[in-house]
Amino acid sequence: MSALVVRGLVKRFGARTALDGVDLALRAGEIAVVLGPTGAGKTTLLRTIAGLETPDAGSLELHGRDATHEPPAARDVALVFQNFSLYPGKSVRANLEFPLRAPGRNLPAPEIARRIRAAAEKLAITHLLERDARRLSGGEMQRVAIGRAIVRQPKLFLMDEPLTNLDAKLREALRVELAGLVRELGVPMVYVTHDQAEALSMGDSLHVLSAGRILQSGTPREVYLCPASPAVARALGAPPMNEFEARNVNGLWHAADGTELCPAAPGSPARARLGVRAEHVQPTGGPAEAVVELVEDAGHQKLLVVRFAGTRLHLAVPRASSWKPGDVCRPRLAPEHLVVW
Amino acid sequence: MKAVRLERVEKTYPDGTRAVRGLDLALEAGEFVVLLGPSGCGKTTTLRMIAGLELPSAGSIHLGAQDVTELRPSQRDVGFVFQFYALYPHMTVRENLAFPLEATGVARAEIERRVAEVARHLGLEELLAQRPRQLAGGDQQRVALGRAMIRRPAVWLMDEPLGTLDADLRLAMCEFLRARQLEERVTTVYVTHDQEEALRLADRVVVMSQGVILQAAPAAEVYDRPADLFVARFVGSPGMNFLAGEARGARVQCGPHGFELGRELPAGKVTLGIRPEALALDAASPLRGRIVVDEYLGSSRCLHVDTPLGRLVARVAPDAPGTRGEEVGLKLTPGELRAFDATSGRLLA
């Protein structure tokens, strides 16, 4: 059974359309990541699923029942925000207890204690339980905020860029931990982010959202390797995919300025927009010369920025390679990795 | 003569917090230096002292030949961009961009030329007639960056200027900023907690922690030969893997596994460091473990492997074998091993 099915969701704020017919489906135990820039509608989507916004059109199914018009409390979903708002002056334990003491929950005290103990252990915050929330580091606060969602044992997690306000290093560690934890709990999750690594690594499915519409849904691999449109290609991957306006002349792709690019597969159209990732361009063996403009250190590899065919082409090369600005290279685009739009 | 020189600079706040401790740093003219470190490491305080927004508790700051330690910000020839942009709300984007030039009496035609150029590079052409409050946060940030870069002061000071921008814009802005800095050769101090940004931009990366400089070196050196364990972990995404061992001549023994270092070390406890990309899957290797996390990252994958020597992360090709739950052998690439003193954490070899 699907944990969540969103169909044709529309949400307007006055003249502005925040969600413009969003479809999203999520099976039990799965993580769906929604990637989009600021203002794409990511937060509105989560708030609508949570019942904090009423959709103008479309429907919402939670675990097989129509929840479109259910009040938020009946949906049994837990939201975690970017700006984790803990109760200052209260202990971590009191912060974790709070959602369990909500009116109507009527949980016995031993059960509350048990849930808090279990969540604290999972998040490695047991030693912080009696500490004042004001005396926590950013990473610790975010763990507590996630803990508050976990103790409720909801049917669905909705997380809105929960790691965005943390230091890059901490984000990297928590990304792995959080995905692992949610999988272990077996609770499905919709996770919203604008971070590339989170988008590619955390989810079973990836959904690229732009201006209130889903541009593409698929596995992270499908979306990375075969972006459905240039807009998707630009949204995913750092550096973004290289793009060319190209003409197919006798089975060879040529850029708009006439530069020969690479062979075209049989049956290719006469004109197309081409996309190729930086790691699928070799600096040697191509048909045309180009000059290296910049060499960027990207840690485990280097990026060459090359003036080529009227654009600035990005190529990934091993970090031991000795390319420097001013060198002449011959970019070779791997035809098997070419995306044709 | 150095373009910027900090000597034994200290900053202690009234509550006793020592934000910066005995900091020495000198920049060549035209150099691009990135101060890198986690929140609270003292990088922003250092930048604000160079700008004149904070006074050091001790030590001196020189810009070129001039001692500016006690000078007001307006008396220093610096241009700065902070994470929280401050634009003039009553002026249009065009007026905001032109303001620093008008204030210094640049000719009208030259102002127009430079505004047009900066607007084109930063993608602000459509927004020139708008006022800041009509703009999204990312757009405001680009205007603030453009306003700082339109002028050629003695020093550019930047505090996470790409802070809230989306990923695709970040890279484009990074490259614009670097290209323009190379062209103008303005001495630049840039603060970030993002190690990728630091490596990409810097002539020299200055890694800070708890108010002190741990290493100041070109990006490649910081990455290849980190001065200590903190730098080794902080730089790289993910950072270096560590293995506890015992040095015996040119070998390091980690439990039952011996690794060739290629250089003699004094006998004693060491921590071996190795980058994720220097770990390869090798079915024949005696070092074995189970894959507990398989992270797809597009151009590569990170396999987190639990071994008897601890958890190790290997960066492999996207189509390499290995799935979660599988047992694999791991080989350490010879020549890529670094040894750190287990007590002090300093790089030995």
Model pLDDT for residues A35-48, shown as the tens digit of each residue: 998 889 999 999 99
Verify whether the Cβ–Cβ distance B38 to A38 is below 8 Å. no
Per residue in A228-245, pLDDT (tens digit) is 999 999 889 888 899 999
The alpha carbon of residue A100 is apart from the nearest alpha carbon of chain B, in Å, by: 32
Q: What is the pLDDT at residue B260?
A: 92
Helix or strand (DSSP H, E) at B140: helix B137-149
Residues forming a β-bridge with B251: B248, B260
A236: closest chain B residue by CA: B168
Closest CB from A38, A168, A293 relative to B166 = A38
The alpha carbon of residue A8 is apart from the nearest alpha carbon of chain B, in Å, by: 27
Burial of A254-282, coded b for 16+ CB within 10 Å and e otherwise, reads bbeeebebbebeeebeeebebbbbbbbbb
B174: closest chain A residue by CA: A296
Q: What is the pLDDT at residue B107?
A: 92
Question: Of B32, B121, B175, which to mutate for an interface test with A (greatest number of A Cβ within 10 Å)?
Answer: B175
Residue A9 has pLDDT above 80, yes or no: yes
Task: Quote the percentage of chain A above a pLDDT of 70.
Answer: 100
Interface membership of B171 toward A (CB under 8 Å): yes
Residue B179 has pLDDT above 90, yes or no: no
* E-state strands within B184-283: 187-192, 204-209, 212-217, 241-254, 257-274, 279-281
Verify whether the Cβ–Cβ distance A238 to B167 is below 8 Å. yes
Helix residue ranges per DSSP H, chain A: 42-50, 72-75, 92-97, 109-123, 138-151, 168-185, 196-201, 220-225, 230-235
User: Mean pLDDT over residues A104-117, rounded?
Assistant: 90
**Angle, CA of A18, A23 and A27, to the nearest 5°:** 130
Closest CB from B194, B275, B296 relative to A201 = B296
pLDDT band at residue B112 under the 50/70/90 scheme: very high
Q: What is the pLDDT at residue A165?
A: 78
Higher-pLDDT residue of A222, B124 = A222
Question: Of B277, B296, B300, B323, which to mutate for an interface test with A (greatest number of A Cβ within 10 Å)?
Answer: B296
Per residue in B243-261, pLDDT (tens digit) is 999 999 899 999 999 999 8
Verify whether the Cβ–Cβ distance B193 to A201 is below 8 Å. no
Are B73 and B157 in contact by the 8 Å Cβ rule? The answer is no
A223: closest chain B residue by CA: B298
Are B270 and B246 in contact by the 8 Å Cβ rule? The answer is yes
User: Mean pLDDT over residues B292-306, rounded?
Assistant: 96
Strands A242-249 and A252-255: antiparallel
The end-to-end CA distance of chain A, in Å, is 35
Say which residue the tokens 């090359």 belong to. Answer: A306
Interface membership of B323 toward A (CB under 8 Å): no
pLDDT band at residue A305 under the 50/70/90 scheme: very high
Q: What is the pLDDT at residue B85?
A: 67
Residue B138 has pLDDT above 80, yes or no: no
Q: Which residues of B touch A83 (CB under 8 A)?
A: none
Residues 6+ away with beta carbon under 8 Å from A135: none
Cis peptide before A318 (omega within 30 of 0): no
Domain limits, chain B: 4-228, 241-341
Verify whether the Cβ–Cβ distance A279 to B299 is below 8 Å. yes
Please state, in angstroms and rounded to a whole number, the distance separating the CA atoms of residues B212 and A330.
45
Residue A337 has pLDDT above 90, yes or no: yes
Verify whether the Cβ–Cβ distance B39 to A39 is below 8 Å. no
pLDDT band at residue B163 under the 50/70/90 scheme: confident
Verify whether the Cβ–Cβ distance B277 to A168 is below 8 Å. no
Please state, in angstroms and rounded to a whole number, the distance separating the CA atoms of residues B315 and B278.
8
Q: What is the pLDDT at residue A329?
A: 97
Strands B78-81 and B155-159: parallel
The alpha carbon of residue A296 is apart from the nearest alpha carbon of chain B, in Å, by: 5
pLDDT band at residue A124 under the 50/70/90 scheme: confident
CATH for B241-341 (3.30.300.10, 3.40.50.300, 2.40.50.140, 3.30.565.10):
2.40.50.140
Helix residue ranges per DSSP H, A226-303: 230-235
From the list A226, A229, A225, A224, the residue with the least C-alpha distance to A214 is A229
Interface membership of B219 toward A (CB under 8 Å): yes
Are B81 and B190 in contact by the 8 Å Cβ rule? The answer is no
Q: What is the pLDDT at residue B182?
A: 84
DSSP code at position A212? T
Residue B168 has pLDDT above 80, yes or no: no
Residues forming a β-bridge with B11: B20
The alpha carbon of residue A281 is apart from the nearest alpha carbon of chain B, in Å, by: 12
The alpha carbon of residue A332 is apart from the nearest alpha carbon of chain B, in Å, by: 17
Q: Which residues of A touch B302 (CB under 8 A)?
A: 201
Please state, in angstroms and rounded to a whole number, the distance separating the CA atoms of residues B318 and B302.
9
Residue B84 has pLDDT above 80, yes or no: no
Q: For residue B33, what are its two tokens?
A: 């230096």
Q: What is the pLDDT at residue B245?
A: 96
A contact set with B (CB within 8 A): 37-39, 138, 167-170, 172, 176, 179-180, 194-197, 200-201, 220-221, 224, 234-240, 277-279, 293-294, 296-301, 303, 305, 312, 316, 319
CATH for B4-228 (3.40.309.10, 3.40.50.2300, 3.40.50.300, 3.20.20.70):
3.40.50.300
Interface membership of B236 toward A (CB under 8 Å): yes
The lowest-confidence range among A134-138, A147-151, B130-134, B200-204 is A134-138
Q: Which residues of B touch A169 (CB under 8 A)?
A: 38, 193, 195, 233-234, 239
Amino acid at A145: A
Verify whether the Cβ–Cβ distance B297 to A235 is below 8 Å. no
Verify whether the Cβ–Cβ distance A176 to B220 is below 8 Å. no
DSSP secondary structure string, B90-121?
A: TS-HHHHHHHHHHHTT--HHHHHHHHHHHHHH
Closest CB from A196, A197, A300 relative to B277 = A300
pLDDT band at residue B141 under the 50/70/90 scheme: confident
Please state, in angstroms and rounded to a whole number, the distance separating the CA atoms of residues A35 and A42.
8
Q: Which residues of B touch A220 (CB under 8 A)?
A: 296, 298
A178: closest chain B residue by CA: B293
From the list B176, B229, B187, B227, the residue with the least C-alpha distance to B206 is B227
Q: Which residues of A touch B208 (CB under 8 A)?
A: none
ipTM here: 0.89
DSSP code at position B324? T
Please state, in angstroms and rounded to a whole number, the distance separating the CA atoms of residues B340 and B349.
7
Q: What is the pLDDT at residue B25?
A: 98
Task: Return left, alpha or beta for A188; rule: phi > 0 is left, psi -120 to 50 is alpha, else beta.
Answer: beta
Question: Of B41, B194, B208, B237, which to mutate for an interface test with A (greatest number of A Cβ within 10 Å)?
Answer: B237
Please state, in angstroms and rounded to a whole number, the distance separating the CA atoms of residues A205 and A214.
13
Residue B298 has pLDDT above 90, yes or no: yes
Verify whether the Cβ–Cβ distance A169 to B235 is below 8 Å. no
DSSP code at position B14? T
pLDDT band at residue B211 under the 50/70/90 scheme: very high
Q: Which residues of B touch A293 (CB under 8 A)?
A: 179
Residue A7, Cβ density class (10 Å: 0-12 exposed, 13-18 middle, ≥19 buried) = middle
pLDDT band at residue B162 under the 50/70/90 scheme: confident
Residues forming a β-bridge with A193: A35
Residue B83 has pLDDT above 80, yes or no: no
Closest CB from A168, A220, A237 relative to B194 = A168
Verify whether the Cβ–Cβ distance B297 to A197 is below 8 Å. yes
Per residue in A158-211, pLDDT (tens digit) is 999 998 878 788 888 889 989 999 999 999 999 999 899 999 999 999 999 999
Sign of CA dihedral B236, A218, A184, A53: positive
Report how many Cβ contacts below 8 Å link chain A to chain B: 105
